[in-house]
Each structure stands twice: as structure tokens, then as C-alpha cells.
Amino acid sequence: MEQSRQGSWIIRSGDPGLLAELSVSHPIAPGRYVITGGSITFSYAAGYGSHDQDGTNFTVYLAGSSTSDVVFASGTLVNYSLPHYSPPQVYSFPPGLAIPMHAPLVVVLQFANNNRNVQIPLASFAISLIGTVMA
């Protein structure tokens, strides 16, 4: 993450061609519940280059002691370029999730930068999880 010239915080995915990861530092505590759904909200702007170049895509997964469950995979993010950000969009996690909370889980974003990177304003970024109590 870095601070923009305007003073707001942004998630910057790194340099073109690199694979980068960002994890939320506070794990989700284990308990007697199962994650059954959720959503992610964000806006973005692609950097470095033109619309015809491959842009960044990213994956969100929940990482535990022995598991890693993908809950979201973006398409290639190229439709908006700096300094113009996309409007915030909400994407639902796929149906049928059933991730048991036997161990602490950490939210991880993995960016594949391809030929361009991406910037996500932190103020536009949110992840919501839905859980069901186990019997």
C-alpha cells in the first residue's frame, strides 16, 4: 500500500510482470461456523500502458493452516486507466461455498500484474463474509 498524491491510501499491485500478494494482518478467528458466502467491493485504475495490453487480474482466497479456498477471481482490469477510477463494483462470491472455520483464516489478495499494474483506493475496498453456525 502507498499514499497517493492526494493523501488517500491505495493498494498498488506492484510492477508489471510481477506476482504480488497482500494479506489482511488480522486473521478471522476460528469457531463453530462455516463461511457460506460473501462479496467484495472495489474500484480500480490500471497503470502503465494502453488498453490493448494485458492488465492485472487478482484472486482473493482464505488461507488457513492447511487449506486455501478461492472466493473471488477478477477478470483482467483494463477498462479504466489512471487518473480515472472505475465506479465501485460489488461482486458476490460463488454459490455453494462451505469453508469450515476450524483454524484461523487470513484474507489474501494475489495479483498477477501481466503488462500493467492496478491501483485500488483503500476507501473503495471491502470484503464481506457470511457464515452459518454449525450444529
pLDDT at 1: 65
pLDDT at 64: 85
pTM of the entire predicted model: 0.86
Rg of the chain taking only CA atoms, in angstroms: 16
pLDDT at 4: 66
Domain over 2-133 is classified CATH 2.60.120:
yes
Domain parsing of the chain, residue ranges: 2-133
- Whether the link from the prior residue into 16 is cis, omega within 30° of 0, is no
User: Quick check: 40 and 120 in contact, CB under 8 A?
Assistant: no
pLDDT at 25: 85
Give the 3-state secondary structure of the chain. Answer: CEECCCCCEEEECCCCCCEEEEECCCCECCCCEEEEEEEEEECCEECCCCCCCCCEEEEEEEECCCCEEEEEECCCECCCECCCCCCCEEEECCCCCCEECCCCEEEEEEEECCCCCEEEEHHHCEEEEEEEECC
pLDDT at 58: 95
Q: What is the pLDDT along the chain (135 residues), one digit of tens a residue?
A: 676 666 789 999 998 889 999 998 889 999 889 999 999 999 999 987 777 788 999 999 999 866 788 999 999 999 999 889 999 999 999 999 999 888 899 999 999 999 999 999 999 999 999 999 987
